[in-house]
Amino acid sequence: MSITLTARSHGVLRYSAWDGVLVLLSLVYAVLLLSVPSIPLLAIGLWWTANTVAHNFIHTPFFRPRWLNRLFSIYLSALMGFPQGLWRARHLRHHRGDERPARWSRDVMVESGVVLSLWLALVAIAPEFFATVYVPGYVAGLGLCLLQGHFEHARGTTSHYGWLYNRLFFNDGYHVEHHQRPGEHWTRLPLQADGQARRSRWPPVLRWLDAFNLEWLERIALQSPRLQRYMLASHERAFRTLLAQLPPVSRITIVGGGLFPRTALILRKLRPEARLTIIDAKPDHLEIARPFLEGPVELRHQVFDPRSGDDGDLVVIPLSFIGDRRDVYGNPPAPAVLIHDWLWKTRGGGVRVSWLLLKRLNLVTR
């Protein structure tokens, strides 16, 4: 779920009355800074304001009168401690792929003077607060902004379609779509959603968690026979329950079954008459899985395409599936599909695999 709103101008607001919410929230942030300042408030507030209010203001200035946009830019410069004109010039160069340093204009000089005056005033009036609260919070906020910017573009521009992030950050997760149409108002970005866009299940500042991904966890399992036994037992219970709801199957395709091939081991036990095929995009994963397997199991090195054609009577989709999981649910690639998913993702018929693993197994049929 995301924010999809009608972007209609209203009064002094040029593009949408919804921009008034961003202006109001920036004022709320200023009030909080004046009343209950703290390092976390400064850090999170700077990061949030930069990626919502200031970012949208760069691309679609909120107000009709030019002087009001100028005044708001000065206000944001003081609020965030960074000249908005300088960031605007740098950010628009980023969209053009121009890495040359941004030029200092008259507006940037004025905003820099406002920021410098604010800092000097804080040093004179509250030096301890400036040194122990403002500066650490400011530096932490810039660090969050740098982290955000890095992971929005690491290994290619990436979108995040989580409803919570896009509500709190006003559709900032539609980053591929934003780069395709930088002038599109934030309320309309969900309408431009690109089904082929590179995406991540994590918001940008949490995207470093991809380093601790499911493949990493699988490799831990390879080193622990006890963990392997637990995974086999918990998954077997789920498969046994759902297979009982299906007619006999003769061909089963297991997607991403390399590394520790527990699904193949379980299905060979529960459906010994069926012909098993493991499809994995990484050949080294298949080689790691091979010693675990005895008997006729076809190992196929390729990227699984759910729309490619006949994949047997039953297809098993892993939690680490690279592709559009929603499309697999909506358009099953086989008469029956078993889909590993997170514990809270209840779709079709399904059973819990393990509370510890946070997994469930969902069954969808044509």
Distance CA 168, CA 152 (A): 17
Quote the number of domains for the chain: 2
Out of 57-66, 112-121, 245-254, which region has the weakest mean confidence (pLDDT)?
245-254
Residue 183 forms part of a structural domain: yes
Average pLDDT of span 14-20: 93
Residue 136 has pLDDT above 90, yes or no: yes
Residue 113 forms part of a structural domain: yes
Same domain? For 321 and 342 the reply is: yes
Q: Which pLDDT value is given to residue 260? A: 81
Out of 166-180, 208-222, 273-287, 298-312, which region has the weakest mean confidence (pLDDT)?
208-222
Residue 149 has pLDDT above 80, yes or no: yes
Residue 1 has pLDDT above 60, yes or no: no
Domain that holds residue 246: 216-365
Residue 132 has pLDDT above 70, yes or no: yes
What's the token pair of residue 352? 């819990």
Single out the residue in 152, 183, 209 at which a domain terminates. Answer: 209
Residue 311 forms part of a structural domain: yes
pLDDT in tens, 208-262: 766 556 666 777 777 888 888 888 899 999 999 999 999 888 899 998 877 788 8
Single out the residue in 209, 239, 260 at which a domain terminates. Answer: 209
Sheet holding 349-354, edge to edge: 297-301, 275-280, 251-255, 314-317, 336-342, 359-365, 349-354
Residue 14 forms part of a structural domain: no
Q: Which pLDDT value is given to residue 33? A: 95
Q: Which pLDDT value is given to residue 311? A: 66
CATH number at residue 286: 3.40.50.150
Is 87 in a helix, a strand, or coil?
helix
Same domain? For 251 and 328 the reply is: yes
On average, the pLDDT of the chain sits at 88
Is 162 in a helix, a strand, or coil?
coil
Same domain? For 72 and 184 the reply is: yes
Judge contact between 241 and 306, C-beta under 8 A.
no
Same domain? For 134 and 69 the reply is: yes
This prediction has a pTM of: 0.64
Bridge partners of 360, per DSSP, are: 341, 352
Same domain? For 52 and 169 the reply is: yes
Bridge partners of 279, per DSSP, are: 255, 300
Judge contact between 179 and 17, C-beta under 8 A.
no
pLDDT in tens, 272-294: 888 898 888 888 888 888 888 87
Q: Report the first-to-last Cα separation within the chain, whole angstroms.
A: 25
Residue 313 has pLDDT above 90, yes or no: no
Single out the residue in 184, 209, 234 at which a domain terminates. Answer: 209
Same domain? For 195 and 72 the reply is: yes
Phi, psi of 81 (to 5 degrees): 75, 30
Split at pLDDT 50, 70, 90, the class of 3 is low
Q: How many CB atoms lie within 10 A of CB 226?
A: 8
Bridge partners of 199, per DSSP, are: 159
Residue 7 forms part of a structural domain: no
65 vs 215, residue with greater confidence: 65
Average pLDDT of span 98-121: 88
Residue 13 forms part of a structural domain: no
Distance CA 212, CA 276 (A): 30
Split at pLDDT 50, 70, 90, the class of 201 is confident
Same domain? For 238 and 152 the reply is: no
Same domain? For 360 and 288 the reply is: yes
Q: Which pLDDT value is given to residue 287? A: 86
Same domain? For 223 and 182 the reply is: no
Same domain? For 265 and 352 the reply is: yes
Q: Which pLDDT value is given to residue 144? A: 95
Residue 152 forms part of a structural domain: yes
Residue 2 forms part of a structural domain: no
Q: Which pLDDT value is given to residue 326? A: 81
Residue 54 has pLDDT above 90, yes or no: yes
Same domain? For 274 and 182 the reply is: no
Same domain? For 184 and 238 the reply is: no
Q: How many CB atoms lie within 10 A of CB 67?
A: 8
Average pLDDT of span 183-194: 91
